[in-house]
Amino acid sequence: MTTIAFDGSMLAADRQCSSGNTKHGRTCKLLTHNGHMLSFTGGFVEGLALVEWFKAGADTKNPPKVGESSGSTLVVVTPDNELVVYEHPYLSPLTFLNKVQAFGSGRDFALAAMHLGFDAKRAVEVASEFDLYTGGGVDTCVMP
């Protein structure tokens, strides 16, 4: 899994790659595309498939080819600062009205940290302290 946090202006994601109980290394799970900030939870390959699907227009009639039980989530912050989420296999966009939000295995820790006044980066760092599947550092992106 992973932890993604959004505090209303900053999107943050951890860098850890894991499979089962094994850490495989570090990578960046935070991308930008046409003014959108993107990140994903779940399997890395499945997450990248969701990103490519989004870049191609997010056609819900032509979903990405990923495993049936991938449970991957694509988190998108639009140029208008809307928080939109696509969960596989139900790829209908879900727009959040509350701007402070977190996703992934460390979600609860990150939400608690932001509730206490920390920004998204610190929220992911806090999640890294407690969640087995979050770690390896944090990448951030802020809307211009």
Query: How far apart, in whole angstroms, are the C-alpha atoms of residue 95 and residue 102?
Result: 13
CATH number at residue 105: 3.60.20.10
Q: Measured in Å, how far apart are the chain's first and last C-alpha atoms? A: 28
55 Cβ partners below 8 Å, 6+ apart? 33
Which pLDDT tens digits describe the chain residue by residue (144 residues)? 799 999 999 999 999 987 767 777 788 899 999 999 999 998 888 888 999 999 999 998 888 877 655 678 999 999 999 999 998 877 889 999 998 999 999 999 999 999 999 999 999 999 999 999 899 999 999 987
Host domain of residue 21 = 3-142
* CA dist 74 → 19, 31, 118, 127, 129 (Å): 19, 11, 23, 19, 24
Q: What is the count of structural domains for the chain?
A: 1
CA 1 to chain centre: 10
What is the side-by-side strand order in the sheet with 10-14? 100-104, 3-7, 10-14, 138-142
CA neighbours closer than 13 Å in the CB half-sphere of residue 87: 7
